[in-house]
Structure 1
Amino acid sequence: MARESQEHPVEQRELVITRRLKAPRSLVWRTFEDPYLLAQWWGPENFTSTISKLDFHAGGEWHVTMRAPNGTEVPVRYQFVEILAPERIVYHPLPSAAAVWRDNPPPTYLATLTFEALGNETVFTMRAEFESAAGLDFAIKGGFALGTNQAFDKLERHLATY
């Protein structure tokens, strides 16, 4: 797995994860726009996901429920800010009142995903810009970087089945 992750010092607000995926850009893109394919890999290791809504356009929403191995359900809602096929997806999480978040609410950030074609491979980069350095620090301590990297590990394994 070609994996690169940068956890920035507390004074910075951005987390960047880059992967060189052994799949063409069109296929990698499809794993984001197709709710069935997205559910196959979204979420941390050993979690399963159900996509209940995926309005894949700017202003559209994406609702996913991730299930932990112990059965705990973690609902998350996102809103797409920009979609430029097949190059860029920009989204942010929407606030959630779910009780499951009481001790570890989802971080507030703007995610920009880019898909760069490189022959039959894709350089995939996620930039998560947090509202503050403290927000980034809180997210990292809460497992955001770990869980995101685990999801991208699952994406790599999923792409290898094609």
Structure 2
Amino acid sequence: MTANQANATEGTAGRATIDIVNVRLFDATPTQLFEAFSDPEQLAKWWGPAGFTNTIEEFDFRPGGAWRITMHAPNGGDFANESQIVEFVKPTRIVFDHLRPMHWYRMTMTYQAVGEQTELTWLMKLEASPESEKLREFIEQANEQNFDRLAAHVAGVIAQQ
């Protein structure tokens, strides 16, 4: 199941934002999905759009902790990103702010058990700007690719257990 929507709303700290929402059911528990993000070794394996690889320079998973990652594109481009963990409630919620180098956004990830599956919702509050409007469609698609990679990663982890 997938759902996307985008709206202009008033965001965190008075920022005008564009909300981008991606939702999918996964064949995994909330804890398995939570750990796929909170464990940097797992996170490096699936984060980003299709074809990307990652180098995690820092991952301090605590409120206020820094997350620095370089995403390596299939065409050889490198994209350094800096984020900060805002809060988390294991295994139901993770919130982080993407700070640099380009667009600011707050990502809230929620994990909700639905029978034998887990519904993962990503709510991205992207700072509103003309550039953000242009990025919206790309981000929606990139988030879906992220979900594809996460599903494959978690399936592999479960198969090894």
| Distance of 1:25 and 1:120 partners within structure 2 | 10
Cα gap change, 1:37 to 1:12, in 2 (>3 Å) = closer
1:3 maps to 2
Higher mean C-alpha deviation, range 18-27 or range 87-96: 87-96
1:113 maps to 109
Shift of 1:147: 1.4
Alignment gaps of 5+ in structure 2? 10-15
- Does the CA contact (< 8 Å) of 2:54 and 2:70 recur in 1? yes
> Scaled by the length of structure 2, what TM-score is found?
0.84
| Distance of 1:155 and 1:68 partners within structure 2 | 17
Alignment gaps of 5+ in structure 1? 97-104
Matched to 2:5, the amino acid is Q
Alignment of 1:140-151 (within 5 A): 140-141=136-137, 143-151=138-146
Tell me the number of residue pairs that the alignment of Structure 1 and Structure 2 aligns.
151
1:31 maps to 36
Alignment of 1:3-152 (within 5 A): 3-8=2-7, 13-96=18-101, 105=102, 107-132=103-128, 134=130, 136-141=132-137, 143-152=138-147
Matched to 1:83, the amino acid is F
Shift of 1:135: 5.8
- Residue 153 in structure 1 maps to residue 157 in structure 2: no
- Does the CA contact (< 8 Å) of 1:15 and 1:136 recur in 2? no
- Does the CA contact (< 8 Å) of 1:13 and 1:135 recur in 2? no
CA RMSD of aligned residues (A): 2.1
- Does the CA contact (< 8 Å) of 2:3 and 2:22 recur in 1? yes
| Distance of 1:135 and 1:72 partners within structure 2 | 20
Cα gap change, 1:120 to 1:140, in 2 (>3 Å) = same
| Distance of 1:119 and 1:135 partners within structure 2 | 40
Task: Note the alpha carbon deviations across 1:18-71, whole angstroms, 9 max, x for none.
Answer: 011110111111101110100110011011112121111110011111111121
Cα gap change, 1:111 to 1:12, in 2 (>3 Å) = closer
